[in-house]
A and B are shown apart, each in its own frame.
Chain A
Amino acid sequence: MGDLSNRTLTRPELSGGPVNLSRRGFLLASSGAAAGSLVLGLGLPGSRARAQEAMAPGTRVPAFLEIRPDGTVRLLSPFVEGGQGVFTAMAQIVGEELDADPATFVVENAPPGADYQVMEGMPGFRITGGSLSVRTSYAAMRRLGALARAMLMTAAAAQLGAPVSELSTEPGRVVHAASGRSLGYGELAPAALDLPVPDPESVTLRDPAEFRWIRQPVKRLDVYEKSTGKAVFAIDAQVEGMLHAAVQHAPRLGMTIGTIRNEDELRAMKGVHSVHHLPGAVAVVAERWWDAKRAAEAAQVDWREPEGAPEPNLRHMPADFSTDAFGDALERAPGDGEEAEAKGDAPKVLGEAETVVGATYRAPFVNHAQLEPPATLARFNPDGTLDLWVPNQAPDMFQADAAKQAGIEPARVRVHSPLLGGFFGRHFLYPSSNPYPQAIALAKAVGRPVKVIWSREEEFLRDRLRPMAVTRFRGTLDADGLPLALEAVSACEGPSEAISGRDKDGKLDPMATEGLTGKAYAIPNVRVAQIYVQNPTMLGYWRSVGHSMNDFLYESFFDEMADQGGQDPYELRLRLLAGNERLTNLLKAVGDLSGGWRRGPFTAEDGSRRARGVAMASPFGSEAASIAEVSIEEGEVRVHDLWQAIDPGSIVNPAIIEAQVNSAVALGLSQVLLEEARYEKGQPVARNFDMYPILPPDRMPRVHVRVVESGAPMGGIGEPGLPSVPPAVANAVSHLTGQRARRMPLSRLSFES
């Protein structure tokens, strides 16, 4: 999601100042603060808040930090935690400069507000996505820690009667070495956090050579809670007097309720409070969710076909939509497409070539299938404000849209961002795909707090899909069998142009072709183009976005070309990367990690025939290379080992990186082996994990990770591990079976054992 900030998501109307909320109330209501603990340092008297309004995001220390008497540091993170470890990373970065052990941190997601729009180069913008969090906030969060440390030192100077220059810190304490006296941060906080924040330019940051926590495998802060069921997700939110709601959505987006034939019977069902007609959905509110769900399922609705044109940002699902037929249509899409990248003159070279290698590849729609079904709790308060507990990757955007839905000022909406039970792009602002508009409408209608949970079946019906792409490749080789020209024409729609509309100036959606574009191989003539075909489906971001499919498409065809030229695909990559030190090192690193490149096929110790495949990708500012070892068992692809070398430039937490690569490998394998969101007659074939299998434990290979720190500018980590996985597997399978795997998922193809 490289350039999300510029052109992709609708920017919210932001209120400017900090949100008008009772911080104390907020703190006590939220999960991390111990009830009754003395809240210090966060009281912002109105006058001073105004006086400091012009402060740059990420510098108003009290908006981020609370230091409790016991020295515990509560940090409000600009980025939401959904498994990627960002809370821990934030604690490491801030703790490093604050001089406080990350283990003493309690981290929660920050409310909306300009203070938290810290992403470098993206003013006024805040999302958790695009593997952007750490790399775009690294400098700001370090500075924040340093500013806080400076304030603590100033306060200590006053209390100790010693000049700041004589003071130093050790974790959690300010020390006056000369007198042997020291004060804990907890003691200093009340005074310190009342001081004006120093000039951000005035603080010096720690020399990276002296880092104690950054670059260390610091333990994650959320692991214990998550191992004991104490972690609270949106689906778990509870407030007093709350009712539960379940919905039955129209089978196709755009349809509306005609009548509910059995509405009276539904009302009479056990536990039912009320039945509601919402846009495109029947909702049942009940004392318990199970009762609501049963009644919602029982609703016999005459759904009306949509009338008129869809609202902006909404697509009416046609009654005859079939993904297989749509794929075939993409295959036949006419034209050469609009150019996304060009080098040399590929069309000419291909036109004159004697032999042209051509192939058409296909990547399907896929679902997010995060394990937590979407849920939102909405509560209107007596003062007319709205509290919203909503899974989200962008609090300010949700605040703005929720305000619109509720008909109140954004400043009167408090957005609580609980831990996400997986996200992978699922929780951006997709109003037709998220339950918060329903929760708001229902809470308003019944005058009590309402929590809406979508059943897994409703989730599969309304989830937004990763786009489908059909890509036509042509390539030709020189006399030595080296690629001379390569053309990739992809018929697809990018997720951003699907969400926000096509660019008025005709700029293409870079996410449509990223991964076909931006390849580092020295091929003299290259043309990458997109044939824009609007999808009838709602589209969204999926982990690794365009890269999740395009690197599969490109890197698999790359192997076809290598084979055509009689070249070993690993050696060919090395050769075409000559002079590119970073990628050469990376490719060698993964080769070494796997015990030296060997393509096979060979017979393994257990007697199975195996082969290996290699692939590379350059996603989200990082570089990755994977090697996969596969066999075929009973016609099914078995991945035994997956080696990945990943270079994010520089790192914060190697343990988290290794875990994230494991996670990305699992999702990448799940995609290449199993996943496909199919529609027939305008409806999804799968409405649960029964018909949409995701990677089960027995198909998880051993994963070997080597983190390479090239020192290049810091790249992302959450997504970059994924894109090279599917093509590495597909290339291994193609080589082993002699049958080109040109589409995902491989379960759609049949292989001989």
Chain B
Amino acid sequence: MKKRFAIPAVVLLAAVAGGVWLAKHHPASPFEAAEKSAAAPDLVARGEYVARASDCVACHSLPDGAPFSGGLEMATPMGSIFATNITPDPETGIGAYSLADFDRAVRSGVTPDGRRLYPAMPYPSYAKLTDEDVRALYTYFMEAVEPANHPNRPSGIDWPMDQRWPLAFWNMMFTEGGVYEASTSEDALWNRGAYLVQSAGHCGSCHTPRGPAMEERALDESSPLYLSGALLDGWYAPSLRNDPNTGIGRWSEADVVAFLKEGRNAHAVVFGSMADAFNNSTQFLTDEDLRAIAHYLKSLPGDPERDGSPWEYDPASAAALAPARRAEVPGAQTYATKCAYCHGADGRGRAPWIPPLAGAVSALAPEDASAINVTLNGSARVVAGGVPDAYRMPPFRAQLSDREIADVLSFIRSAWGNSGGAVAPEAVAELRGPTDPASSQVIVLQMR
């Protein structure tokens, strides 16, 4: 498993202008003087919940390793970095961390020895966690996670790009700092939702577009760019705003809740990176929190300018799939034989078990990465409440050429009223190399 996270050279350039003072600056923590005290069990439980909501396990655990002992590889253009051991092992993990040390790592991205974490660690979001949640998280890791002696793998980034002090400068420029502040003009449900989405949920890490220095271009709803969809890791993370085409404009709040709770609804099934987020994180949130998230997300207005005119189903394209006519439309034969048995000749799928392609974001968004990626590589098994899905999306990389995939996606993205547009074989080739097929096996990451 490898994630791709680009930290371009701009980061370095920006840093050249930075001062040494800033680089050496040690951020403050409210827990500076905190005593280590035996934790109340409900604090551990709360910490575990925050860990679930924050999806720590997704990066810091591997399926065949001890929980949180580290290891997920993030490929950057400069080399690979590896998520670290965050078990309470004193030697190789965070066992020696004080609460303040832990806080500085989680909310400021600085280790006790002053090293800056790469922003693959979503501390710009975690910065918004409340003190209480940070304390609970710390307690959970220290009390409930088994220490595992598992040395961290050194990053594969070479000098000078391995210099991390410039990241301090990046932090100064691109993180807002500070715990989430409730909006007085909104109700409690909205505020709870906003808090979860912006802090622990770090939804923006994937769904908010990034700027030239890989910074998220907005960290809350004050900007219309917030959660407006972004390309990352070879996937297009769609808009989570009320955009009918590329976002969740056609979903009800109940649809959002179902998606996060069951991994599926009438419009879509989780796939790509979202399958991991669902398997390890969102399904474990309480119904109340999920309702809050849905409520908050549904309050974010869409942008008709960006999103275009709302999708409407058009049955006409079914005609291209008639056996006698398939040869006329590139991709139609592939669709009929590789896709239609599940997604239907009408593109409507068999919701909620098998998602529709008619009106799917991946078929409406100008970005074609998700459509290509899921076709090449299939998707991870969706495991809801411990029960694996009945139907999985298989990888087609071994059966279909770049052109065949491009053709079938071009067909899908123009059928049934879809407006995503044509896909080029070169775009398929570009993703084929660096990506791997999803496993057909059920993978459940353990937290304990």
Please tell me whether chains A and B touch each other in their complex, using a CB distance cut-off of 8 A: yes
Chain A residues with a Cβ under 8 A of chain B: 251, 261-262, 265, 269, 294, 297-298, 300, 457, 634-636, 685-688, 690-693
- B397 and chain A: residue at smallest CB distance: A691
Q: Which residue of chain A has the shortest Cβ distance to B440 in the bound complex?
A: A687
Inter-subunit contact B388/A298 (CB<8 Å): yes
CB-CB under 8 A from A635, the residues of chain B are: 401
Within the complex, which residue of A297, A457, A690, A692 is in contact with B396, where a contact is CB–CB below 8 Å? A690
B401 neighbours in A (Cβ, 8 Å): 634-636
Nearest chain A residue, comparing its CB with the CB of B390: A294
Q: Are the C-beta atoms of B398 and A269 separated by less than 8 Å? A: no
Task: State A526–B396 Cα separation when bound (angstroms).
Answer: 45
The docked-state distance in angstroms from the alpha carbon of A690 to that of B440 is: 10
A635 to B402, CA, bound (A): 11
CB < 8 Å neighbour of B398 from A262, A457, A692: A692
Q: Which residues of A contact B383 (CB under 8 A)?
A: 298
CB pair A262–B390 under 8 Å, yes or no, is no
- Bound Cα distance from A692 to B440, whole angstroms: 13
Known contacts A298-B383, A300-B444, A457-B440, then 5 further A-B pairs from the complex at CB < 8 Å, ordered by chain A residue = A636-B401, A685-B437, A690-B394, A691-B437, A692-B398
Chain B residues packing against A (C-beta within 8 Å): 378, 381, 383, 386-388, 390, 394-399, 401, 403, 437, 440-442, 444, 446
Closest Cβ neighbor of A262 among chain B residues:
B386
Report how far A636 CA is from B395 CA in the complex, Å: 20
Whether the Cβ atoms of B378 and A690 lie closer than 8 Å is yes
Query: How many angstroms from the CA of A686 to the CA of B438 in the assembled complex?
Result: 11
**B388 is contacted by which of A294, A634, A636, A693 (Cβ under 8 Å)?**
A294
- Report, nearest first, the 8 A-B pairs whose CB atoms are least far apart: A690-B394, A687-B440, A297-B388, A691-B398, A297-B442, A693-B399, A300-B444, A265-B386
A-B contact pairs, 26 of them (CB 8 A): A261-B446, A265-B386, A294-B387, A294-B390, A297-B441, A298-B383, A298-B387, A298-B388, A457-B440, A457-B441, A634-B403, A685-B437, A687-B441, A688-B394, A688-B440, A690-B378, A690-B394, A690-B395, A690-B398, A691-B394, A691-B395, A691-B398, A691-B437, A692-B398, A693-B398, A693-B399
Nearest opposing residue in chain B for A455, CB measure: B440
Secondary structure of the B contact surface, majority rule: loop
B387 touching A269, Cβ below 8 Å: yes
Q: How far is the CB of B401 from chain A (nearest CB, A)?
A: 6
A636 contacts which chain B residues (CB < 8 A)? 401
In the complex the two chains form, what is the Cα distance from A609 to B395 in whole Å?
Answer: 32
Contact (Cβ within 8 A) B403 A690: no
Complex Cα distance, B194 from A529, in Å, reads: 72
A contact residues around B388 at 8 Å (CB): 294, 297-298
B121 to chain A, nearest CB (A): 26
Contact residues in A for B394 (Cβ distance below 8 Å): 688, 690-691
Cα A692 to Cα B398 in complex, Å, equals 7
Known: A298-B383, A300-B446, A457-B440. A690 touches B390 (CB 8 A): no
A85 to B73, CA, bound (A): 53
What A residues does B399 contact at CB under 8 A? Answer: 690, 693
Which of chain A's residues have a CB closer than 8 A to the CB of B390? Answer: 294
Chain B contacts for A297, CB-based, 8 A? 381, 388, 441-442
Give chain B residues whose Cβ lies under 8 Å from the Cβ of A691: 394-395, 397-398, 437
Q: How far is the CA of A185 from the CA of B440 in the complex (A)?
A: 57
Which residues of the other chain, B, contact A688 by a CB distance below 8 angstroms?
Answer: 394, 440
- Chain B residues, Cβ within 8 Å of A685: 437
- Which residues on A sit within 8 Å (CB–CB) of B440? 457, 687-688, 690
Which one of A634, A687, A691 has the highest number of Cβ atoms from chain B below 10 Å of its Cβ?
A691
Q: Return B387 CB to nearest CB of chain A, in Å.
A: 6
B67 vs chain A, min Cβ distance (A): 11
User: How distant is the Cα of A636 from the Cα of B397 in the complex, in angstroms?
Assistant: 14
Residues of B within 8 A of A262 (CB): 386
| Cα separation A262 to B397 with both chains bound (whole Å) | 34
Q: What are the residues of chain B within 8 A of A265 when measuring CB–CB?
A: 386
Give Cα A457 to B396, complex, Å. 16
Q: B142: shortest Cβ distance to chain A, in Å?
A: 23
Q: How far is the CA of A298 from the CA of B442 in the complex (A)?
A: 7
B123 to chain A: closest CB distance in Å?
31
With both chains docked as a complex, state the minimum distance between the C-beta of B148 and any C-beta of chain A, in angstroms. Answer: 14
Separation of A693 and B396 alpha carbons in the complex (Å): 10
Q: Are B398 and A686 closer than 8 Å at their CB atoms? A: yes
Chain B residues within an 8 Å CB radius of A269: 387
What B residues does A686 contact at CB under 8 A?
Answer: 398
In angstroms, Cα B403 to Cα A686, docked, is 22
Provide the bound-state CA to CA distance between A262 and B442, in Å: 13
Name the distance in Å between A697's Cβ and chain B's nearest Cβ.
10
What is the CA–CA distance of A407 and B394 in the complex, to the nearest angstrom? 42
Nearest to B400 among chain A residues (CB) is A693
CA distance A686 to B378 in the complex (A): 13
How far is A635 from B404 in the complex, measured between Cα atoms in Å?
12
Q: Give Cα distance in the complex from A420 to B272, angstroms.
A: 39
Interchain CA distance A298-B444 in the complex, whole Å:
9
| Minimal beta-carbon separation of A286 from chain B (angstroms) | 14
- Which residues of A lie under 8 Å from residue B397 when comparing CB positions? 691
The interface residues of chain A lying within 8 Å CB-to-CB of B386 are 262, 265, 298
Q: Which residues on the B side are within 8 Å of A298 (C-beta)?
A: 383, 386-388, 442
Measured CA separation A297–B378 after assembly (Å)? 18
Shortest C-beta distance, B329 to chain A (Å), equals: 17
Distance in Å: Cβ of B16 to nearest Cβ of chain A: 41
Within the complex, the shortest CB–CB distance from B434 to chain A, in Å, comes to 16
- Which residues of A are found within 8 Å of B444, using beta-carbon distances? 300
Once the chains are docked, how many angstroms separate the CA of A585 from the CA of B388?
60
Question: Of B390, B440, B444, which is in contact with the most chain A CB atoms at under 10 Å from its CB?
Answer: B440
Chain B residues closer than 8 Å to A692, beta-carbon distance: 398
Q: For residue A106, give the distance in angstroms from its CB to the closest CB of chain B.
A: 37
Q: Within 8 Å CB of A261, what residues of B?
A: 446
What residue of chain B has the Cβ atom nearest to residue A687's Cβ?
B440
What separation, in Å, do the CA atoms of A690 and B442 have in the docked complex?
Answer: 17
A271 to B395, alpha carbons, bound, how many Å?
Answer: 30
Query: CA separation between A636 and B403, bound complex, in Å?
Result: 12
How far does the alpha carbon of A294 sit from the alpha carbon of B399 in the complex, in Å? 27
**C-alpha spacing A297/B442, complex, angstroms:** 6
Q: Which residue of A lies closest to B378 (CB)?
A: A690
B262 to chain A, nearest CB (A): 16
In the assembled complex, how far is the CB of residue B354 from the closest CB belonging to chain A, in whole angstroms?
A: 16
Q: Give the complex CA separation of A691 and B446 in angstroms.
A: 28
Instruction: Provide the bound-state CA to CA distance between A734 and B444, in Å.
Output: 47
Least distance between B403 CB and chain A CB atoms (Å): 6
With both beta carbons as reference points, the residue of chain A lying nearest to B439 in the complex is identified as A687
The smallest C-beta distance from A301 to any residue of chain B, in angstroms, reads 10
CB neighbours of B442 from chain A (8 A): 297-298
Chain B residues with Cβ under 8 A from A634's Cβ? 401, 403
The distance in angstroms between the C-alpha atoms of A747 and B404, with both chains bound, is 15
